[in-house]
Amino acid sequence: MHFPQAVKEKYALMAEETNDEHYLKAATELGDSQEVLAHQAIFSNNGIKLVERGVRVDSGLFERLLNHRLQVSIDESLTAEKAVTLEELRDQAEALIAERPFYGRLAAELSDRVTLLGAIGSIALPKAMAFRLTVARDRGGALFAHSLQVALIALYLGIRQELEVPELRALAAAALLHDIGMLHIDPEMMQADHRLDAGERRQLHAHPLTATMIVKQRPEYPQAVGRAVLEHHERLDGSGYPRGLKGAEISVMGRILLLAEVVAAVLDKTTSAAEQRLSLILRLNHGKFDAQMSRAILKLLEQAAVEETDAEQGSRNAARIKSLGDDFDKWNEARSELAHYAAAAPVVGAFLTNRVVALERSLADAGLHPDQLKSVCVDIRDQPGEIRELAMLAREAGWQLKGIIQDVFCRFPTLEATEVPGEVAIRDWLLQLSAQLK
């Protein structure tokens, strides 16, 4: 992989932080629930022996290890009794296929099923990486399950892209490891009620860099694995991170992974009609994802229509119509205010305006421009299926607008503390709008 100097410098910074507090805490706490042994002595960077070989490691050693920079990453020195294995990965994948209808559709064809499970069950899994996946499984909340879901979706797309077996094996590894950088982030940041500040947003946006650096240290993985991991939050229209790549700048595996990550994230929500919402997201954001791959997912979604009973439809329609009218009144008010504030803060305003215009264009491409939405609500008053989709579209537009606001604060970290009058005005307006979109 060839990266700009700025990216290489970020890698160097990440390399200094691989033994950071949050991952070290999770790794040592693993020893509280199962036997974790130091299969080699653990030394500080200046040669002090901190832990003898053969010693059991648990949370009691956390403070001692935290006070030193280690010679090698902690996972290079530890072995877990109940570590993740290739057999377990394959068994978990089979269970997911059997229990979740969407994942069952991924493996409906026998040849696809054999290829999917074969790729997952044959990835390179060195001991240090198996330990990291074990931490993700036992201490990382839903991280392990999410990564396995991403792997199945990515492999399905890889098969549709006619990737060769070695490429599919590399893709499976990239999918399973794409979020290991999240183990280096404070778990409190991931709480639903936690509001991210500018520094925390930068940490979150750095997790693909952290994961890539970790993968690049393992000679077992080809360069394509690290590149795909780095690109899993990019978007084809350039709105992703960490590098804001566009179109062909993103590798094929990167395109697969970024779409698979979104599909898994949406389907894993406990809200109703997740598949219908996913269909809407893919159609609304067609410029962000590979068109051929999106069509492959949409085809799967068409096989399972979302149903409601007549009673459910009747009780929800009136509330949905009123809510939609209110939502898009706020949208149009915000749009008109944006022009005023953007003029007072040209750089920030231009970025924000371009992103909002792109969102409006996506809405228009979906056949529902904000200017037309309120009247459409009246036109479809007696069409519950259309009302349901329109309600989801309204919510999705709100979520995306809130995402744009978060991107502004991430791209312009000085905005939160600025004293420039125009920037103060746009910051306060963005914070107010964000609160309204909750």
The whole-angstrom separation of Cα 117 and Cα 139 is 25
Q: Which pLDDT band, with edges at 50, 70 and 90, does 295 fall under?
A: very high
Residue 74 CA to its chain's centroid (Å): 25
The whole-angstrom separation of Cα 378 and Cα 322 is 10
The whole-angstrom separation of Cα 144 and Cα 137 is 5
* Closest of 165, 140, 146, 145 to residue 155, by C-alpha: 165
Burial of 344 (0-12, 13-18, 19+ CB in 10 A): middle
- For 42, the 3-state DSSP assignment is strand
Average pLDDT along the chain = 83
Residues 6+ apart with CB under 8 A from 123: 86, 89, 169, 172, 173, 176
pLDDT on residue 419: 84
pLDDT on residue 430: 81
pLDDT on residue 74: 94
Among 20-24, 76-80, 121-125, 390-394, the minimum mean pLDDT is found in 390-394
Q: Tell me the mean pLDDT in the region 59-78.
A: 94
pLDDT on residue 124: 96
Among 79-88, 134-143, 200-209, 425-434, the minimum mean pLDDT is found in 425-434
pLDDT on residue 357: 78
pLDDT on residue 11: 45
Residue 386 CA to its chain's centroid (Å): 29
Q: Tell me the mean pLDDT in the region 251-277.
A: 88
Q: Which pLDDT band, with edges at 50, 70 and 90, does 420 fall under?
A: confident
Q: Tell me the mean pLDDT in the region 360-377.
A: 62
Higher pLDDT, 210 or 302: 210
pLDDT on residue 380: 47
Q: What is the DSSP letter of 44?
A: B
pLDDT on residue 398: 73
Interval 311-366: pLDDT, tens: 454 445 455 555 555 655 665 666 677 777 777 778 888 888 888 778 777 777 66
Interval 157-172: pLDDT, tens: 999 999 999 999 999 9
Burial of 181 (0-12, 13-18, 19+ CB in 10 A): buried
Residue with tokens 């410029």: 287
pLDDT above 60 for 149: yes
Calculate the CA dihedral of residues 272, 274, 280, 281 and round it to 10 degrees: 130
pLDDT on residue 8: 47
Q: How many CA atoms lie within 13 A of 73 on its CB side?
A: 22
Q: Which pLDDT band, with edges at 50, 70 and 90, does 210 fall under?
A: very high
Q: Which pLDDT band, with edges at 50, 70 and 90, does 173 fall under?
A: very high
Q: How many CA atoms lie within 13 A of 284 on its CB side?
A: 24
Angle in degrees, CA 18, 19, 20, rounded to 5: 90
* Closest of 125, 224, 132 to residue 182, by C-alpha: 132
pLDDT on residue 397: 72
pLDDT above 60 for 145: yes
pLDDT above 80 for 4: no
Residue 21: how many CB atoms within 10 A of its CB?
Answer: 13
Query: Exposure string (b/e) for 74-103, b if CB count within 10 Å is 16 or more?
Result: bbbbbbbeebbeeebbbebbbebbeeeebb
pLDDT on residue 308: 41
**Which is it for strands 78-80 and 49-51: parallel, antiparallel or unpaired?**
unpaired
Q: Which pLDDT band, with edges at 50, 70 and 90, does 1 fall under?
A: very low
**Torsion over CA: 47, 51, 52, 54 (sign):** negative
The whole-angstrom separation of Cα 375 and Cα 135 is 52
